[in-house]
Amino acid sequence: MKRTILFILLFLVSNVFAQETPTLKSLLGHEIGVEFTRHHEVISFYEKLHKAFETESKILEYGETNEGRKLMLFFMGSAENISRLDEVRNMHRLRGNNSKLPIIWLSYNVHGNESSATESSIQTAYKLLTEHKDWLKESIVIIDPCLNPDGRDRYVNFFKQYAAITQNTDPSSIEHKEPWPGGRFNHYLFDLNRDWAWLTQVESQQRMKIYNKWLPHVHVDFHEQGYNEPYYFPPAAEPFHEMITDWQREFQERIGKNHAKYFDSAGWLYFSKEIFDLLYPSYGDTYPMYNGAIGMTYEQAGSGRAGRSVRTNLGDTLTLKDRIDHHVTTGLSTVEVSLQNKNELIENYNSFGVDKKYKYAHYILRGDNDKLQKISNLLRAHDIEFGQIAKEGRVKAWSFRKQIEQNLTYNKGDLVVSTSQLKGPMVEVLFEPKTYLSDSLTYDITAWSLPFAYGIDAHGFNGALEMDKNWFQSFNRSSMPNCYAYLCKWNSMNSASFLQSILSQNITVKVAEKEFQIEDEVFPVGTLVIPRGINKDINDFDEILQRAAEDSWIDIYPVASGYVSKGKDFGSSSYNEIYLPKVGVLSGGDLSPLNTGEIWHFFEKELALPFRMFRLSELNRIDELDIIVLPAGELSADELEQLKQWIENGGRLLVFGDAAYNFVADFDISVRDLEIDYSATEREELSGLITGAIYECDLLAKSSPLTFGYSGYYSLRQSASNFSLKNGKTILSLPENAEQVSGFVGFKAKENQDKAMILGVENFGKGELIYFCDNPLFRGFWENGKLLVANALYFGND
């Protein structure tokens, strides 16, 4: 009888606990792995999970996407630690002995169609709060369930629309073939996994504000690759950036061995030490590494082709449930290893960068106010400290532009960034003039130095430097109510955004085709001249210009007369009126989604210039357009013929990257390519590759409107192809016997760079083609190239 009563009591107690702990299915609404979860359902799940484990979890909404979807983090820990989360974070940021908890941040679905990742986050979070509650007593685990909700929902909506009721494993079926552009990218078709350092996208910008408040000990980025591949986990492949410590590399090995233990037990295939290196600083594994963490990429087979299940080349069936199981296993294994080694993990994290010998102690930066403002905004976004030189002096310093050590007279007020700070390693990586490569076989570009990317003068200097931490720009925005005209020097995208703003408000603007001088001030070609007289019908003329200048962070100069000290007076034919162009951007077909997105983002977010994005199938409706932008990619013969007729009738076509190949047969442009050896190994192929190298260009047409605002230019090359024009005009080219400033160039590719065209113009009928052989909008971070595109839009080649 006593045993019966005890059994009943135990049964009742267990039922109470069962009712208190909801099942994963009851929270999610379906069994995990049987279907894809839309983003609003993901948010709903985490809200329910938080309600079920209210004291052990916390939700933080940190922003929203371009399409209005929520961005959120889910924190897990003991009830005590969650209740004092701010205190935990502050102790961690101090990097002292009081910090005892490893901070583990798990990020999912940065690529929207790598869709098992978000599903895996759901099961991982649930398992941590139920099966592994003890782990949470000794750690803080942060889950970002979806870094790219817009791309993910694009994929999930596609799949739900086309998926068969009974699972179709045939990879040729429509449910395994996403339409252009696919779900990998965000709203603007950017690859968010390449945006950690550049922060061009709103998702990255909002995430970085929170990430920099935490700077976790461990960060994992969960991905998917081709559905025929085995699972990848660290240790990573060479090249490792020299900033990465031996201990970070060794800890990756510990984690990899622990993963292997579980995969071996289950009989799952995997690989490590291949393909995925740790060099390019803008990934979800490298960026954390350069901030002292253990940053890692995990790659599960699947991606946009896998659906709920797919037949692989081996004849096996890969299911969504399989993919989730693998990611959940490595996620839990990561937490396990971090806890097993927590003291060592925290100790090495705290000492990262301490007493580090950097190449340069300081980077002294000079340039136009608006360019310095742009780079200072990026530094602030990364919590990188900077200031201004407090007292002028003279030192030996390395010149980025001249690539030599020279005498430098630095001035009070020059912007300076020091490596002597918490973010010193990140400063070193972002500013280093030459990237060191331990191995030339790398996954991404090999050069990115910020002074070249932003078009500013920079010097690296070792030694003592007196510096004030506060730095600010002073702008000339003085108003003269009865002035004859306002002037704006044309030297950066800030000038272009100012121009677009006032043109859209019906202000009449002229551009100076020749240099002029007023008293002691020299105004270069490209200077915008905005006379009051031809804008007499504009109400609030002064206020419009002042507001636009303030919004664009530029200088404007009021002048009392149209008479100049040197050059042509303002009534001269040397000043041409600027008109708002009617612009179209091609998309779809075999055109690059990434390049299309870069162009789209440039027009919409950088310039606020209205444009028409249209499909290749709509080329029969383009007569009213002044300019069409052709992203990288291939055209059909019919599409090319339609564009040809439009150009002949007076259209201006902007051609990006390898889209130039479309015009080699019937136009003036030609190309010298390297012969392809199809029997070559991947490493042998390197001899013919350029993996993102920086080259200094020759400015061949200094009077061309396409070069307004430039006295020199550095290009980021990703192709070894050598384009040239026979009868057209080459504006920018590489020099004879060109040598890269930084980055990897194979020896065969190097021989093919002699006088390669970077920017050129071909007249065709009444119209013209402007060739951007290197993409100046690459990933939105090559700031110094953007003005070339603005010049082509507003000035052309007149």
Give me the mean pLDDT over the 161-171 stretch. 92
Q: 3-state DSSP call for residue 655?
A: strand
Please check whether residue 794 is in contact with residue 582, taking contact to mean a CB–CB distance below 8 angstroms: no
Q: What confidence score (pLDDT) does residue 680 get?
A: 74
What pLDDT does 480 receive? 75
| DSSP states along 85-119 | HHHHHHHHHHTSTT--S-EEEEEE-SSTT-THHHH
pLDDT tens digits, 80-122: 999 999 999 999 999 888 888 999 999 999 999 999 999 999 9
Q: How confident is the model at residue 3 (pLDDT cuts 50, 70, 90)?
A: low
Note the pLDDT of residue 797. Answer: 66
3 or 293, greater pLDDT: 293
Closest Cα partner for 219 from 173, 258, 252? 252
How much of the chain is helix, strand and coil, in % rounded to 5? 35, 25, 40
CB 453 within 8 A of CB 432: no
Instruction: Return all residues near 440 (Cβ < 8 A) that are at least 6 apart.
Output: 239, 686, 691, 744, 746
> What residues contact residue 565 under an 8 Å CB cut-off, 6+ apart?
516, 517, 518, 519
Kindly report the backbone phi and psi dihedral angles of residue 539, in degrees, each rounded to the nearest multiple of 5, phi listed first.
-70, 145
DSSP state of 603: I
pLDDT for res 417: 96
Structure tokens at 53: 């484990």
Residue 644 pLDDT exceeds 70: yes
Q: Whole-angstrom Cα distance, residue 301 to residue 225?
A: 5
DSSP state of 656: E
Q: What is the pLDDT of residues 491-517, one digit of tens each?
A: 999 999 999 999 999 999 999 999 999
- CA-based end-to-end distance of the chain: 102
pLDDT at 8 over 60: no
Alpha helix locations (H) across 655-761? 682-685, 747-751
Do 728 and 763 form a contact (C-beta atoms < 8 A)?
yes
Average pLDDT of the residues in 652-669? 97
- Distance (Å, rounded) from C-alpha 418 to C-alpha 132? 43
State the burial class of residue 295 (Cβ atoms within 10 Å of its Cβ: 0-12, 13-18, 19+). buried
Tell me the mean pLDDT in the region 178-194. 97
Percentage of the chain with pLDDT > 70? 96
- pLDDT reported for residue 32: 97
- Residues whose CB is less than 8 angstroms from the CB of residue 238 and which lie 6 or more positions away in sequence, other chains included: 277, 438, 439, 441
Q: In the predicted model, is pLDDT for residue 266 greater than 80? A: yes
How high is the pLDDT of residue 9?
47
Q: What pLDDT does 16 receive?
A: 45
Using the structure block, give the residue that is written with the tokens 């006593």.
Answer: 2
Q: With 50 as the cut, is the pLDDT of residue 12 above it?
A: no
Q: Cis before residue 235, ω within 30 degrees of 0? A: yes
CA distances for 135 relative to 335, 522, 768, angstroms = 8, 67, 65
User: Which pLDDT score is estimated for 470?
Assistant: 75
Average pLDDT over residues 632-642: 97
pLDDT at 471 (0 to 100): 72
Cα separations (Å) of 600 from 204, 275, 609, 768? 18, 31, 10, 22
Taking only the tens place, the pLDDT of each residue in 712-748 is 999 999 999 999 999 999 999 999 999 999 999 999 9
Higher pLDDT, 680 or 686: 686
Q: What per-residue confidence (pLDDT) applies to 97?
A: 81
Distance CA 458, CA 386 (A): 14
111, two tokens? 């690529």
pLDDT > 80? residue 681 = no
- The pLDDT > 90 percentage for the chain reads 88
Partner residues linked to 143 by β-bridges: 74, 106
| pLDDT grade for 437, boundaries at 50, 70 and 90 | confident
- Quick one: CA dihedral 494, 500, 504, 508, positive or negative? positive
Comparing C-alpha atoms, which of 730, 685, 692 is closest to residue 714?
692
Given this model, what pLDDT does residue 18 score?
46
Residue 183 has pLDDT above 80, yes or no: yes
Q: For residue 592, what pLDDT is reported?
A: 98
Who has greater pLDDT, 786 or 796?
A: 786
DSSP state letter for 35: S
Whether the Cβ atoms of residue 736 and residue 754 lie closer than 8 Å to each other: yes
- Tens-place pLDDT, residues 788-798: 999 999 997 65
pTM: 0.95
pLDDT averaged over the chain?
94
Flag whether pLDDT at 413 surpasses 50.
yes
